[in-house]
Amino acid sequence: MRTLMEEELFPSTPGKVKIERAHQMNRQLNRCFASTSIMFLWALFLIALTASYLSFQSFVSTSSRLFSSSSSSASSWGGLQWERQVRASASHRRSSGFTVLVTGAAGFVGSHCSLALHKRGDGVVGLDNFNSYYDPSLKKARQSLLSSHSIFIVNGDLNDARLLSKLFDVVPFTHVLHLAAQAGVRYAIENPSSYVHSNIAGLVTLLEAARSADPQPAVVWASSSSVYGLNDKVPFSESHRTDRPASLYAATKKAGEEITHTYNHIYGLSITGLRFFTVYGPWGRPDMAYFFFTKAILAGKPITIFRGRDRVDLARDFTYIDDIVRGCLASLDTAGKSTGSGGKKRGPAQYRIFNLGNTAPVTVPTLVSILERHLKVKAKKNVIEMPANGDVPFTHANITLAMAELGYKPTTNLEIGLKKFVKWYLSYYGFTQTGPTSTNL
């Protein structure tokens, strides 16, 4: 039995009318089928478009992670939301304000400088790989503090050339304050390659990105008092010999001074190198003597005090963090513009090196007695001869040049500076060493 529909389309007795009607029905159906096909194709096209956008986004973030695999903590960057955060953090609030990329922004000096720049109205974007050289939770706490001031820190490694190039594409940085480094003089014996990775390879990767950027930023970066090495003329002046480093750390910082000179010479990058002298203070580095002495003294554990040959006490030109921050900002303020563009130098650019010290060396036993007074606890001391592990017997900065050209003038002595440090330490860790209790600077 045929259905009505079949009757209409395939009449048992063919006739003109029936054939005409059948053709009409066919045309309607074809039109209907054609429009459904077009809709179907459009739907397919839209699905394909969405799928390729999503997979592109995932490719960008996956490749970011792959290309920055040298960082000990997984980095993540890329995507529209990430770019929005970077741009917002980079925007300045004062007229003619700077836009500064601060590397090592979750570090000791980096976090202080980032806050100081932000507070005066400059735009700041941080970069840090949050490695575990010392307790990353301290770095995370500094990051939270910066984040509460709307400063964004990109989690990534200096050696990630794609990330750096992306950052310079997204933001026309006026300055780079390069503070990321593998620090510590004695750790170089244990892990020499980490110094080459950060202080040499990472520096070159950063300078490559800076010289290709348009506009080229001015670069201010952290060298070290350790470059004076075995120099025994005091106080250490920028014109003294720096070709006898005593540690691999010092050698990589000295190499950094030569490498930055090359980029200044070939590409017209404006360069300022700052030789920091044993910087200390609140939110400091737990690998430094004043910090771990404090922890040990409070815990009733012995500390080891190194002594030089002939029972001579070691001495350092300990410099308080706020003085260093003022020196860094003054360096940014007085930095000349880079002269290159399109990867080519258009004229000579500024190249400067300054000592940033306190000009008042203090012996290690005196440092310990100041700590004992502030902590109100007696230290258990073990005095031994300084091992041959990269240490130098003393440091003492001549800061005449920084005073003349940067208006640099340290104002905090070790007594006052350690008092501020101890106050912060006790509020952050409490007496029990079980963890942070406060995150206020």
Ligand X SMILES: O=C(O)[C@H]1O[C@H](OP(=O)(O)OP(=O)(O)OC[C@H]2O[C@@H](n3ccc(=O)[nH]c3=O)[C@H](O)[C@@H]2O)[C@H](O)[C@@H](O)[C@H]1O
Active site residues: 249
Q: Does 289 bind ligand X (CB under 6 A)?
A: yes
Which residue's CB atom is positioned nearest to ligand X? 224
CB of 280 to ligand X, least distance (A): 8
In whole angstroms, the minimum distance from the beta carbon of 258 to ligand X comes to 17
- Say whether residue 185 binds ligand X (CB under 6 A): yes
Sorted by sequence, the CB contacts under 8 Å of residue 25 that are 6+ apart come out as 8, 9
Interaction pattern, residues 319-358, with ligand X; x per rule: CB under 6 A: ----------------------------------------
> Is residue 129 at the binding interface for ligand X, with CB under 6 A as the rule?
no
Here the tokens at position 64 are 């970011």
With contacts defined by CB under 6 A, name the span among 104-112, 150-158, 177-185, 409-417 that binds ligand X: 177-185
Q: Which residues contact 16 (CB under 8 A, 6 or more apart)?
A: none
| C-alpha to C-alpha distance for 319 and 303, rounded to whole angstroms | 22
Distance CA 284, CA 313 (A): 24
> Does 226 contact ligand X by CB under 6 A?
yes
Adjacent-strand bridge partners of 176: 101, 219
In the beta sheet, which residues pair with residue 124?
A: 100
Tokens read off for 254: 């000295």
Q: What is d(CA 164, CA 222) in angstroms, rounded to the nearest whole number?
A: 19
| Residue 380 beta carbon to ligand X: minimum distance, rounded to whole angstroms | 13
In this structure, are residues 236 and 185 in contact, taking their beta carbons and an 8 Å threshold? no
Nearer to ligand X, 121 or 302 (CB): 302
Footprint of ligand X on 385-404 (CB under 6 A):
391
Q: Which is nearer to ligand X, 269 or 367 (CB)?
A: 367
Encoded one letter per residue, x for contact with ligand X by CB under 6 A and - for no contact, window 41-80 reads: ----------------------------------------
Instruction: Please report the sign of the dihedral spanned by the C-alpha atoms of residue 128, residue 129, residue 134, residue 140.
Output: positive
Q: Are 406 and 310 in contact (CB under 8 A)?
A: no
Strands (E), 95-226: 99-103, 123-128, 152-155, 175-178, 218-224
User: Nearer to ligand X by C-beta: 289 or 321?
Assistant: 289
188 binds ligand X (CB under 6 A): no
Residue range at the interface with ligand X (CB under 6 A); choices 136-144, 158-166, 272-280, 419-427: 272-280
Q: Which stretches does DSSP call E strand in 83-145?
A: 99-103, 123-128
Return the range that interacts with ligand X (CB under 6 A); candidates 67-75, 182-190, 328-336, 373-381. Answer: 182-190
Closer CB to ligand X, residue 142 or residue 345?
A: 142
Q: How far apart are CA 111 and CA 105, in angstroms?
A: 5
List the x/- string, 296-315, binding to ligand X by CB under 6 A.
--------xxx-------x-
Mutual angle of helices 364-375 and 289-299, in 10-degree steps: 50
| Closest approach of ligand X to the CB of residue 365, in Å | 9
**274 lies in the site for ligand X, by CB under 6 A:** no
Nearer to ligand X, 60 or 386 (CB): 386
Token pair of 46, please?
A: 């839209």
Instruction: Provide the 10 A C-beta neighbour count for residue 34.
Output: 10
Backbone angles phi, psi at 273, to 5 degrees: -100, 130
Which range of residues in 139-147, 179-187, 190-198, 201-209 is near ligand X by CB under 6 A?
179-187
| Residue 112 touching ligand X (CB under 6 A) | no
Q: Are strands 315-316 and 362-363 parallel, antiparallel or unpaired?
A: antiparallel
Binding piece for ligand X, criterion CB under 6 A, among 49-57, 135-143, 152-160, 219-227 = 219-227
Task: Give whichever of 250 and 269 is closer to ligand X, judged by the CB atom.
Answer: 250
Binding mask 230-269 for ligand X (x = CB under 6 A): ----------------------------------------
Residue with smaller CB distance to ligand X, 22 or 296: 296
CB of 333 to ligand X, least distance (A): 23
Instruction: Give the residue, chosen from 134, 277, 354, 421, that forms a contact with ligand X under the rule CB under 6 A.
Output: 277
Contacts of residue 107, Cβ cutoff 8 Å, sequence gap at least 6 = 128, 139, 142, 179, 180, 285
Cis peptide leading into 215, omega within 30 of 0?
A: yes
Tell me if 101 sits within 8 A of 141, measured CB to CB.
no
Region for residue 349 given its phi and psi (left: phi exceeds 0; alpha: psi -120 to 50; beta: otherwise): beta
Name residues contacting ligand X, limited to 352-371 (CB under 6 A).
Answer: 364
Binding footprint of ligand X on the chain (CB under 6 A): 183-185, 224-226, 276-278, 288-289, 304-306, 314, 316, 364, 391
